Amino acid sequence: MADLMPQERMPQLIAESLIEQIRGGTIPVGSPLPTERQLCEDFDTSRPTIREALALMQMRGFVDAGGGRRPRAASPSLQTILHSAAGHIRDLLGGAESGAHLEQMRQFIETGAAREAAIRGDRVQIARLQETLQRNEAAIGSAQFAASDIAFHRALVSIVGNPVILTLHDMFVSDLLAQRAPVDDPVKHDTIAFEEHRAVYEAILNGDVMTATNVMDRHLERSYRARLMGQTKHHPPLRA
């Protein structure tokens, strides 16, 4: 087993070596990395090992890959790291308990966003929120309601002005909103959600911090329970 350790660690060691070259400027940020063939020769290893090393670098934000071009050296940021890790995080969050943890994260983010919006939302931000509310109303009962729901919540979170929070919202909260179970009466369901959105908007417009926070909290709690009920109804649990 000890003989296998160096080979098992090769991807990590190669990644660290290339990252040091990027940090030191030997490989400038924005420039293409050496080809896989060249890297195989430089490190005397195989293509799968090089690809694993590049994947590790991408997860840490030091590689910009995609668009059909050669991977390029990058400088990591919180946003790029979150995006690159998103797929791996989603793989770990498949169970009911993990879903509940995401819902809790959403509650913290959005009740806080409602509070901040009521305190310091400016005219342009509130106007954007109003536009998404109008589109939300127009989509009641249609297949577009879920997208308009996401847009309203995203516009609210964007008022905070924190790109990391908005990135988290885009990666996970939007997924939760999009995974709506079928409902028996879409118009009734959508109307309830819209009226709650409107109450949040009006509280923000009036600068009423307590009402904005409380209404958003109740809205998220009701939405979560309704989604659980819908999932149970359409996918009943197996009986022993």
Name the residue ranges covered by the structural domains of the chain: 5-76, 95-234
pLDDT tens column, 205-220? 999 999 999 999 999 8
Q: What pLDDT, on a 0 to 100 scale, did the predictor assign at position 5?
A: 43
* 95-234 matches 5-76 in CATH topology: no
Q: What pLDDT, on a 0 to 100 scale, did the predictor assign at position 66?
A: 72
CB 119 within 8 A of CB 207: yes
Q: Is the pLDDT of residue 167 over 60?
A: yes
CATH 1.20.120.530 fits 95-234, yes or no: yes
Task: Work out the average pLDDT over 79-83.
Answer: 68
Domain covering 5-76 in this structure, CATH number? 1.10.10.10
Residue 120 pLDDT grade (very low, low, confident, very high; cuts 50, 70, 90): very high
pTM score, whole prediction: 0.66
Q: What pLDDT, on a 0 to 100 scale, did the predictor assign at position 27?
A: 94
Share of the chain above pLDDT 90, in %: 55
Q: 138, 232, 155: which is closest to 190 by C-alpha?
A: 138
pLDDT tens column, 127-137? 999 999 999 99
pLDDT tens column, 101-113? 777 888 889 999 9
Q: What pLDDT, on a 0 to 100 scale, did the predictor assign at position 20?
A: 94
* Highest mean pLDDT of the ranges 4-13, 22-31, 68-77, 222-231: 22-31
